Amino acid sequence: MNEYLSVSQLNNYINRLLVGDDLLQDFWLKGEISGFRLYQQSGHAYFTLKDEDAAVSCVMFKSRARNLKFKPEDGMEILLRGSMAVYARQGKYQIYAEEMQPYGVGGLFLYLEQLKNRLEAEGYFALEKKKPIPPLVNRVGVVTSQDGAAFQDILRVLRQRHRGVELILAHSSVQGAEAPLELAAAVQMLNQYSAVDVIIIGRGGGSFEDLMAFNSEEVVKAIYESTIPVISAVGHEVDYSLADLAADLRAATPTQAAQLAVPDMLHLEAGINDFQQRLLRAADNRLNQSAERLDGVMMRRVWREPGMVLDKSRERLVGLSHNLSDEVLAGWRLKEHQFSVGVTALDKLSPLKVLRRGYAVVRRGDRVIRRIEEVEPGEEVRIDLSDGVINAAVKDRERVNRWER
């Protein structure tokens, strides 16, 4: 048994202890960044996270560092999620960072990530639930603050694109504690009265905290449950909220939302005029073609000399009538001849004809006698001749072998 441990054994043992502790494998840590270095060649980031009394080394590998939404700097207070392990070569433990968020809004980021995951699992962001924006919109509902620049931008663009559009403003706070409930109530009110074809909900840009009302569960559910299509227009192009995920269509800015909501009527009118001209030209061409065809028909002989055409048709009809009569008469004569031949053949087969040639029919009762075995001596029989009947009695019978074909 060894009386000592090697350095590697010690470090590996301590590493197993750290890795085996569930608490140290997925935790959030708050501290101030110090000595931040991002190596361009490897893409890994190395820094120290400290507070007033202590510090700990941290590393964020390239696969995680490239997903950062902000630029970490020395002195910045952050929230970090990671795990703890020993870096054996230097014999020190360090944190392997998975996520990093600025503190102050970091807690909100964590809350929003959890809320987003839950709402997504419940289907509030499902693509198959998205409703299409109507191609022709004449009435638009806007949920925003009446005093904000976003409303003025939306109004200006709507008027430019569609002079006859009707706009219904559902005024609401767009930031602050009361804003989520007011925004949700405004969307629900527009749905209750079904007064619009599409709803725009949003506000101009602002800080992360300013946009928090559009990250609320109340607003997300109101948008999802809306039977009227909803276009979200929250902040500027780089801003993204949970309301954007729930909306049927996301616009980068309020100005773009207005552009997406209504068609450009001047462009449509120009297109309609173009189609109208093309239709008129097509109709003229069709009329000209039909007129040419009509002229060609009117030049035919049936229209110029109808009497001559009728005389020829009449002559043809008379000829066909004569041909039909001849065919009927010939058919009748053929059938008459066939009937006569049949009657003659039947007459030759008549029993009376046979009897006149000297033959007779012998009967016993109603039965015709064909063989001698059918009568016995002494039985009475009836002999039919061509001119009468003989009643006789059988005196005897004798078999005679006759030649049969």
Q: What is the pLDDT of residue 238?
A: 66
User: Is residue 208 pLDDT above 60, yes or no?
Assistant: yes
DSSP state of 199: E
Cα separation, 260 vs 201, whole angstroms: 13
Q: What is the pLDDT of residue 199?
A: 96
Q: What is the pLDDT of residue 276?
A: 85
The structural domains of the chain, with segments of one domain joined by +, span 7-103, 114-127+134-263, 354-393
> Among 43, 130, 56, 122, which Cα is nearest to 87's?
56
Burial (Cβ within 10 Å: 0-12, 13-18, ≥19) of residue 29: middle
> Among 369, 371, 373, 396, which Cα is nearest to 383's?
369
Q: H helices of 175-264, where?
A: 179-193, 217-225, 242-246, 254-261
Mean residue pLDDT of the chain comes to 86
Q: What is the pLDDT of residue 107?
A: 55
Cα separation, 150 vs 231, whole angstroms: 14
**What pTM did the predictor assign?**
0.49
Q: What is the pLDDT of residue 392?
A: 87
- Given a contact cutoff of 8 angstroms between Cβ atoms, the answer to whether 367 and 343 are in contact is no
| Confidence class for position 106, pLDDT limits 50, 70, 90 | low
CATH code, residues 114-127+134-263: 3.40.50.261
CATH architecture of the region 7-103: Beta Barrel (2.40)
Residue pLDDT, tens place only, 242-259: 999 999 999 989 999 999
- Given a contact cutoff of 8 angstroms between Cβ atoms, the answer to whether 338 and 344 are in contact is no
- Given a contact cutoff of 8 angstroms between Cβ atoms, the answer to whether 386 and 352 are in contact is yes
- Given a contact cutoff of 8 angstroms between Cβ atoms, the answer to whether 370 and 363 are in contact is no
Cα separation, 294 vs 286, whole angstroms: 12
Instruction: Sort strands 27-38 and 45-50 into parallel, antiparallel or unpaired.
Output: antiparallel
Residue pLDDT, tens place only, 367-405: 888 888 888 888 888 888 878 888 888 888 888 877 655
Task: Kindly provide the b/e burial profile for residues 241-266, where b requires at least 16 CB atoms within 10 angstroms of the residue's own CB.
Answer: bbbbbbbbbbbbbbebbbbbbbbebe
Q: Per DSSP, which regions of 329-403 are E strands?
A: 361-364, 367-368, 380-384, 389-393
- Residue 66: strand, helix, or coil: coil
Residue pLDDT, tens place only, 342-376: 888 777 777 777 777 778 888 888 888 888 888 88
Residue pLDDT, tens place only, 118-176: 999 999 999 999 999 998 899 999 999 999 899 999 999 999 998 889 999 999 999 98
| Confidence class for position 2, pLDDT limits 50, 70, 90 | low
Angle between the 254-261 and 149-161 helix axes, to the nearest 10 degrees?
Answer: 30
Cα separation, 342 vs 201, whole angstroms: 104
Region at 114 (left for phi over 0; alpha for psi -120 to 50; beta for the rest): alpha
Cα separation, 149 vs 151, whole angstroms: 5
Cα separation, 117 vs 392, whole angstroms: 126
Residue 306, C-beta contacts closer than 8 angstroms, at least 6 positions apart: none
Q: What is the pLDDT of residue 91?
A: 83
Which run of H or of E encompasses 38?
A: strand 27-38
Higher pLDDT, 42 or 11: 42
